Structures are given as structure tokens and as C-alpha cells.
Structure 1
Amino acid sequence: MKQYILNRLISGIIVLFGLSIFAFALIHMIPGDPVRIMLGEKATKEQVERLREQMGLNKPLPAQYIDYVSGVAKGDFGTSLKTGRPVLVEIQDRFPETVKLAVAGIGIAVVLGVALGVVAARYQNTLVDYIITSLATLGISLAGFWLGLIVIMVFAVKLAWFRVAGGTGLMDLVLPAGTLGVLCSSMICRLTRSGMVEVLSNDYIRTARAKGMRESIILYRHAFRNVLIPVVTIVGLQIASLLGGAIVIEQVFSWPGIGTLAISAISTRDFPMIQGIILFMGIVYVTVNLLIDLLYGLIDPRIDYSTQKEGA
């Protein structure tokens, strides 16, 4: 177990190392003078030179990268050109709102997706199954911004049940979290259904039914446990994605999370902030994936981590 965790940590560090190279190279891949692009064409030569020196762009590339990685290792992700505040502080201010939205959205998605997936599998090849799978397919096909705008139009503008956008309270969370939940539940529903259909055809399920065991116990205590790992995997990937910032939904609902911070940084050419967000999202992905891998052992005690040393 310890060796497996160590192997996963090493692979995570390698991923973050590659991501740090990409984040660092981002500013150097811009055509033209990146400092001039950041400050605009009206900036004076003195302002350009001052920012270039401030960002260390007057040093050789290897020295710049070493300075960048050293700063990141100390928790210094740079300084925002827009606000003048440390990038990490700006991210920390926004991250709790992203967590709030991600937890609410994934909670709705899991309840909705699992329940509909189990029902569809239980009534396989019936009208109920066809309706649920069609809705799940439609949900996967929907664009997030389109669904968000429809939700705002119906529930905020027409019915006036909620504010259009801009708040961070519990009622303001309903529409963006509900939209995220519907979008994410579609994949969970299809995965749950396909796994349950396969499990429900096994002999031990037929034996349980022959013994007169209640259908609800068969479905949730016996069958669903055997499809937990793929469901947890897709849920983990969705959590990592949402914690990195549900960019489209946050922008549509003006939710002050990492996603809107990223859009603002791009529109204002705040490259230190963009670099910091990219690296922060990478750390979130690596951390969540490691936790999901460790969760497998709790779900299925038969998993032996010692046999996964080479594949880790």
C-alpha cells in the first residue's frame, strides 16, 4: 500500500513537472513581445522595461524557469498584473466558492444519475428504459452555456423564483448547481445503467430473486456494489474538473469561482494569473485522482495494491 502511494505520488510529481513547463512556456509562446501585449500598445518604454524586469523576462530561459519553479515550491505563484495581489491569494479567495458549487452540483448529479441508471437497468428494454436513456443521451449532448441560459430564462426571468446572477447565497446556488447536476448526471446515469444491466444478468442475482429477497435489497445492496468502481471513477474525474473551475457555468451565472477568475485573467491578459490557475488545476486533478485510487480499496477489499506496483 505504501509503495503504491509512493509510486502514485512520483507519477503525480512528474505530471506536475510537465505542467509547470507548459505553464512557464505559455508566456513565451505568444507571438510578439509578451510584455507589450500585457501592457497594451500605449505603454511607455519605461513601463515595458520595468515589467520585464519585474517578471524576470530579461534573464536567460533556464534561469527564468528555475526562478518560476522555486517560487511555486515556496507557494509563490507570482503577482496578478490586474490586482497587484499574489496569484495564490486570489485563487484561495475564489476556491471556496468553486468548492461550494462543485459539491452541490456533483451531489445532485450522483443522486439523479445513480437513481435513474438503476431504474433504467431494472426496467431494461421497456418504455421507462427508453425514456431515461434518451434523456441521458440528450443531457450529454447539451451545451452547458445553452442549458444555463434556458434555466435563467425560465426560472429567473419568467417565473422570477431566483435572482438572475451575481449572488453567492444558498438560493443563488440552486440554478448553477442544478444545471451542473443535470449535465454531470447524464454520464453517471448511462454508466450506472450499463453496469447494472451486466450485473443483473449474473447467477447470484437470479439466486437472490429465487430466494424471495426484496428487489430493492437486490438492486442496491448486491448489484450496485459491483458497479461502484466505474461510477466512482467517473464521479472523481467530474469532481476534479469542477474543482478546477466549471468555467462555462460560472461565467453564465456570474459565480465568483476559479472559472470566472480564469476568464477574467484571459480577457485582461493577466498571464501570471493564467499560469497560476493552470498549475493549480493540475494539482487539483492529481490530488483527486490519488484519493479516488485509494478509495477503490475501501469499495472492494479484493483489490491488492501490491500487484499494481509496475502499472502505477
Structure 2
Amino acid sequence: MIAEMRSSTVSDEIVRQIEVEYGLNDPLPLRYLHWAGRALSGDLGESLRTGQPVAEALIERAPPTVTLIIGGGLFALVMGAGLAFLGALVPGSIFDRIIHVLSLVGASAPKFFVAALLIYTFGVAFRLLPTYGFGGPLSWILPCISIGIIPGSILSRVARVALAEEMSRQYVVTAISKGLSRRRILMHDAVPNALPVTINAFAMHFAFMVQAALVIEPIFAWPGIAAYFVEAVRFRDYQVLQSCLLVFCIFFILVNLSVDLISVTLDPKQRQKGLA
């Protein structure tokens, strides 16, 4: 940063003043400890570009990002679980094969391509949904689908395989011999047993939605934390960069911790290991 400031229009005195102000002359471990101490108290510094406190800017930009990740996560969960259940209900049928192909296509499509296709289809061609800005619920639909369709497609394959494995077990054969319908067995036996695997897969992709938001928010002009991070990269705003990375890391850790707790609650085997 200091090297960038050295020019014919910036004097050495101003450079030294900035070095003292930001503690750039201190050893690196000491600088990190100072930053961590301020961060724990809620002081994330000020933006080098705008002078606005970073913590204040993050709070202002949190609603769009939270809306995008939660909405995309719900769409991915409903899409993935729904397609997996429908495919397991009629295994080997044409419908099951169509779901398989669509899931593979959805999982392989780049995020920016999915977003551009949705914008053109529903915003330009049919003019059904807004494609710009963070407004009412209608403006949330396309971004949430764009960020959720890839993890939803992957989740549908993971859940479908888990359900197929459960439906091949001996207890299913016994239930079928007793005259129980496939739908009942799926709902009451296979789905609960497949939940831990499905939730772990969902959590992994849900945590990485922050990465997807870096692409989706600028495309739809959402003023969220991810877009704020992209702006900081463009203008080399280091205070904003490290603060956004801190937020992303905390989110990733909290999601994984929550999933571990949920998995222990749902899986009796893990509960027994914990008690042992």
C-alpha cells in the first residue's frame, strides 16, 4: 500500500504519517494482535476509499446478502429434496432419468451463465420479474434461484443416491412383503435414515454460497457484503478486504458447527458414540 502511495504528488512526510497512523512500522505479529483486539471490540477500521467505518458498512450491507443466502439455501433444499424424493418414488422410469439429466446439467452450469439466462428469459423476453437492485420480494426470486440451482442440483443427486441405498436394505424388503406402499416406506423409513447424509451435503454447499454471492450480487446489482468485497478488491481497500474475509470465515465456521450439532441429533449412531 505504501509503495502505491509513493508518487510525484505524495510527499515522503505524508507517507510517514500514514505509516504511523496505521501502525505499518510495527512488527507483523504486533500489527495482527492490534487488529484482532480492535476487531473483538467491534472496531474493524475505516475504509481507505470512503472513510466510512467498515463495521457500519457491513451492517448496512448485511440484509441483501443474508436474504440471498437464506433464499438460495431454501430453494436448493426444496429443489434437491423434492427431485430426489420424486425420483426415488418411481425409480428407473423416464421421469427419474429426466430428473437425473436435469440435475447433471444444473450442477455443471456456471453461476454467471445461469444468472444471465434467467435475466434474459424472465426479465428481457417475458418481462415477468425485475432483474436489477434489491427491492421487494419479486426482486429476490431470480438471484435466489441463480445461487441455489447449482447446490440444489448437486443435493438432488446426493439425496437420490442415499434414498436408493436405503431402499435396497433388508428392512425395506420386509416392509414391502407386509404390503406397505413404496411412498409410505420412503416417507417413514428411508427419508429419516437418509437425512444425515443429505444435511451434511447441503451444509457444505450452503457454506460455499458466500463464494457464489461474489458472482451473483454484482450481476443483479445487489448492495450486499459480497459486492462490497468485490469493490474492495477493485480499489485495493485492504481494511474492507480483511473485514469481509473475517465475516465469511465466521459464517463458514458457524454453518459447519450447526450442521455437526444437527447431525448428532438426527443420527442415533453418532449420539451413541458421543455418550460412549
Provide the TM-score with structure 1 as the length reference: 0.82
Report what 1:44 is aligned to.
10
SS of the counterpart of 1:246? helix
What does 1:1-312 align with in structure 2 at a 5 Å threshold? 34-37=1-4, 41=7, 44-45=10-11, 46-243=13-210, 246-304=213-271, 307=274
Please list the CA deviations of residues 107-164 of structure 1 after superposition, one character each: whole Å capped at 9, or x if unmatched.
1111111111122233333322221111111111100011101111111111111222
Write the distance in 2 (CA, Å) between the matches of 1:43 and 1:265. 23
Report what 1:20 is aligned to.
none
Provide the TM-score with structure 2 as the length reference: 0.91
Work out whether residues 6 and 15 of structure 2, in 8 Å CA contact, stay in contact via their aligned partners in 1.
no
Alignment root-mean-square deviation, CA? 2.1
Report what 1:8 is aligned to.
none
Work out whether residues 80 and 272 of structure 1, in 8 Å CA contact, stay in contact via their aligned partners in 2.
yes
Distance 1:125 1:215, change over 3 A: closer
Give the C-alpha shift of residue 82 in structure 1: 2.0
Write the distance in 1 (CA, Å) between the matches of 2:28 and 2:269. 49
Give 2:82's aligned amino acid. A
SS of the counterpart of 2:180? coil
Write the distance in 2 (CA, Å) between the matches of 1:42 and 1:152. 46
Structure 1 regions of 5+ residues with no counterpart? 1-33
Distance 1:202 1:71, change over 3 A: same
Give the C-alpha shift of residue 305 in structure 1: 7.0
How many residue pairs end up in the alignment? 275
Give 1:44's aligned amino acid. V
Structure 2 regions of 5+ residues with no counterpart? none
Q: Which has the higher contact order (CA 8 A, sep 6+)?
A: 1
